[in-house]
Amino acid sequence: MSGHILIVDDDPKVRTLLRRCFEGEGFTVSDAKDGAELRASLARNQVTLITLDLNLGKDNGLDLAREIRKDNNIPIIMLTGKGDAIDRVVGLELGADDYLAKPFELRELLARVRAVLRRTAAAEASPFAGQRYAFEGWLFDVGRRSLTSASGEGLELTTREFNLLESFVKRPHRVWSRDDIMDVLKGHDWSPLDRSIDNLIARLRKKVERDPERPQLIKTYFQTDQYVGGCALRAHLLVSWAVIAVV
């Protein structure tokens, strides 16, 4: 596997370590210590993946992730401090493809890099890549990774929002469980009690529904296992998607 990896970290020792690691595996590597160097490198190079440290000193890694995602869909793996749980969640919601807490094993980082690149390549090679879907005045172009309103205005989607919407529109009328959705968003560490999935669906509903309070496209209901001693053993999140048209 080959590609061009951009390392963004303000620690020169980390940049050197990661450069040696990636180059030893056959990747082309560039590095940047701050936002200015990141922008310059993206302008010069055809980057296929970015490793982005969230704690860059004068620059905020989350702001840089948001900036990157506005302009392109280059995969991003965020590197965070051990206690930055909130930053990790926010980073994923901004569109990061994966995250890894420091300190980490280089073998694990390499495995995650390869996994993200495989998923990206598979999505680009998918027979659905050239298809477009129309629903409720929206035009969803899988190949261009774009969602456009009837007035021609583009709507920004994070990576997770795009992946979930893509799965929904390709399989209308299917009922999705929480586990199904976790499988779609593979590559992230989920917990059965993780509310991030509920929040993700709520955000997507606000973007595509005419009235998010009375959804017609993304319908959610809860199914609860039998009760024991007045307490539910487990609650299941179930989601279904309305019909769409392939155009």
- Kindly list the structural domains of the chain, giving each domain's residue range(s) and its CATH number in brackets, ordered by start: 4-125 (3.40.50.2300), 132-246 (1.10.10.10)
Please give the backbone phi and psi of residue 237, each rounded to the nearest 5 degrees, phi first.
Answer: -90, 125
Q: Give the pLDDT score at 178.
A: 76
Per-residue pLDDT of the chain (247 residues; tens, 9 = 90+): 679 999 999 999 999 999 999 999 999 999 999 999 999 999 999 999 999 998 887 888 888 988 888 777 788 998 887 555 556 666 666 667 888 888 889 999 999 999 888 877 766 555 555 588 888 888 888 877 788 988 888 888 877 788 888 888 888 777 777 777 877 776 555 555 556 777 888 888 888 888 888 888 888 766 544 333 444 334 444 555 654 444 4
Question: Interhelix angle for 85-94 vs 196-208, to 10°?
Answer: 30
Q: How far apart are CA 169 and CA 242, in angstroms?
A: 8
Q: How far apart are CA 212 and CA 210, in angstroms?
A: 6
Q: How far apart are CA 139 and CA 154, in angstroms?
A: 9
Q: For residue 103, say if its preceding peptide bond is cis, omega within 30 degrees of 0.
A: yes
Q: Give the pLDDT score at 233.
A: 35
Please give the backbone phi and psi of residue 148, each rounded to the nearest 5 degrees, phi first.
Answer: -125, 135
Q: What residue type is assigned to position 3 of the chain?
A: G
- The model carries a pTM of 0.60
Q: Give the pLDDT score at 218.
A: 84
